[in-house]
Amino acid sequence: QKEVEQNSGPLSVPEGAIASLNCTYSDRGSQSFFWYRQYSGKSPELIMSIYSNGDKEDGRFTAQLNKASQYVSLLIRDSQPSDSATYLCAVERLPGNTGKLIFGQGTTLQVKP
């Protein structure tokens, strides 16, 4: 089992729709979770961090965390063509306090005008 799993996609949504990106992780003790966006040929850009169960909203983005189910998701409301990118889920690698992250393989999102 991979430590951080994401569906590679591509996930295709029409402009204006909600895009839902999912991620599961294997290490139950992980406490820190991140979503990064990566455009083709560019480096990752931090979108959201989440540490507690529940939802965290920032503009059009909402991160959701369920530690019991070892599941973290990212919702993008009112999707725009400029949101088309690969979204990487990253999870703190245990033991903690090292700053090390484990990345999923990424989900490619395509927003069609």
Partner 1 sequence: GAVVSQHPSRVICKSGTSVKIECRSLDFQATTMFWYRQFPKKSLMLMATSNEGSKATYEQGVEKDKFLINHASLTLSTLTVTSAHPEDSSFYICSARAAGGPLNEQFFGPGTRLTVL
Minimum Å distance from CB 56 to partner 1? 13
Which ranges of 13-57 would DSSP assign to H, the alpha helix? none
How many CA atoms, within 13 angstroms, populate the side-chain half-sphere of residue 111?
19
Minimum Å distance from CB 19 to partner 1? 19
Map tokens 């983005």 to a residue. 61
Closer to partner 1 by Cβ: residue 10 or 59:
10
Q: Centre a 10 Å sphere on the Cβ of residue 88 and count the other Cβ atoms it contains.
A: 24
Could you tell me which of 109, 111, 102 has the C-alpha nearest to residue 5?
A: 102
Does 87 engage in binding with partner 1 (CB under 8 A)? no
Q: Which stretch binds partner 1 (CB under 8 A): 16-24, 63-71, 72-80, 92-100?
A: 92-100
Does 11 engage in binding with partner 1 (CB under 8 A)? no
Does 112 engage in binding with partner 1 (CB under 8 A)? no
How many CA atoms, within 13 angstroms, populate the side-chain half-sphere of residue 52?
4
Residues in contact with partner 1 by CB under 8 A are 32, 34, 36, 41-46, 49, 88, 92, 96-101, 103-106
